[in-house]
Amino acid sequence: MTGPTDSAESTGSTNVASNPSSNASPRTPAENGELALLCEVAGTPKPGNVDRAREYPDLRFEHFLAGAVGARRGLAMAAAGESVGESFECAVRGMATQRGGNTQFGAVLLLTPLVRAAAADENSRDGVSRIVADTTVADAVCFYRAFEHVDVAVADPPNGWDALDVRRGADAADAIRERELSLADMMATSAERDGVAREWTSGFERSFALADRLAVLDGPLPERASRAYLEALAAEPDSFVSITHDADTAREVTERADRVLSDHEDGDAFATELIEREINPGTTADITAAGLFVALERGIEV
């Protein structure tokens, strides 16, 4: 055999479904992590994001399928207690085994500590906060390395932080070590401008709130995900839109999402328009995937 191997993946899987005493999800945390990625992209409409009814010419639905399949390797590492940084880098490397480029980088960044916490029976804001607090300088170095596997649009670093610009990839490693910054420290520097980083510093406030909404809404899970996404989009300007366009555009999207929720505007038409304008509220999609994971771990049925 010259290719990658599945051998170790199977050993534990044998035991997976033979635990009738468990009241938890019938899936493992890594399986739920992958399924959260898949249910996020399956939910439609999700204005501005690829879903099963809308895609970009070069970023298509199947890229997300392959990306989610590939990301599970790293999520399984996190579930096994490997470091958040190494698990995340592995997940991103697996996610990048398709030609669409960045599919769900931010979602995987949220899922990695969530999966690790859930695997330790700590599917809670406190539980994931402890995982975040325990991250190290080595985790930060891995995080930077992950950017070498895929192109990700990011904000400019704060003044004085140029040496730590994630776009420098592994070259920034020395600067990270010199300043002794953990991955949690890194996220704190970005929290003001980046909604994914803000989840890391806030105890995943919006992810858990979205999971609560999923439990309350009616209908099939992807429909609930679509609705919860719209609500989250209407509640707060999307930071990925702010980064890739500007604050005014992000505000417009938020106001329009609110109009869709109040039936003053058609959701499908809005979704098509945002794809045409290439306005992608990716942060809100990331938080939707994280909320789906928390809900799946709590036992929401598919």
Total of residues contacting a second copy (CB under 8 A): 71
* 127 is a site residue for a second copy (CB under 8 A): no
Q: Please state the closest distance from residue 262 (CB atom) to a second copy, in A.
A: 27
Q: Please state the closest distance from residue 104 (CB atom) to a second copy, in A.
A: 14
- CB nearer to a second copy: pick between 86 and 238: 86
Angle between helices 29-42 and 282-297 in degrees, nearest 10: 140
Q: Could you tell me which stretch among 34-42, 199-207, 252-260, 265-273 binds a second copy (CB under 8 A)?
A: 34-42
- CB nearer to a second copy: pick between 226 and 249: 226
- CB nearer to a second copy: pick between 2 and 159: 2
CA distances from 297 to 14, 40, 226 (A): 20, 15, 19
- CB nearer to a second copy: pick between 33 and 267: 33
Locate all alpha helices (DSSP H) within the chain, ordered by sequence.
7-16, 29-42, 61-79, 84-95, 105-119, 125-133, 137-146, 173-179, 183-190, 195-201, 205-216, 221-235, 239-244, 247-261, 267-276, 282-297
Nearest to 122 by CA among 208, 202, 182: 208
Binding residues for a second copy restricted to 91-110, rule: CB under 8 A:
93-94, 97-99
- CB nearer to a second copy: pick between 97 and 189: 97
What are residue 298's phi and psi, to 5 degrees? -75, -10
List CB contacts of 58: < 8 A, sequence separation 6 or more: 99, 100, 101
Binding residues for a second copy restricted to 211-270, rule: CB under 8 A:
220-222
Check if the beta carbon of residue 94 is closer than 8 Å to that of residue 78: no
Please give the angle made by the CA atoms of 39, 128 and 280, to the nearest 5 degrees.
Answer: 40
- CB nearer to a second copy: pick between 42 and 260: 42
CA distance 173 to 141: 5
Asked if omega into 157 is within 30° of 0 (cis), the reply is: no
* 159 is a site residue for a second copy (CB under 8 A): no
Binding residues for a second copy restricted to 49-88, rule: CB under 8 A:
52-53, 60-63, 65-66, 69-70, 72-82, 86-87
* 146 is a site residue for a second copy (CB under 8 A): no
* 38 is a site residue for a second copy (CB under 8 A): yes
Q: Could you tell me which stretch among 118-126, 157-165, 201-209, 246-254 binds a second copy (CB under 8 A)?
A: 118-126
* 42 is a site residue for a second copy (CB under 8 A): yes
Q: Please state the closest distance from residue 286 (CB atom) to a second copy, in A.
A: 18
* 121 is a site residue for a second copy (CB under 8 A): yes
Q: What number of CA atoms fall less than 13 Å from residue 89's CA on the CB side? A: 18
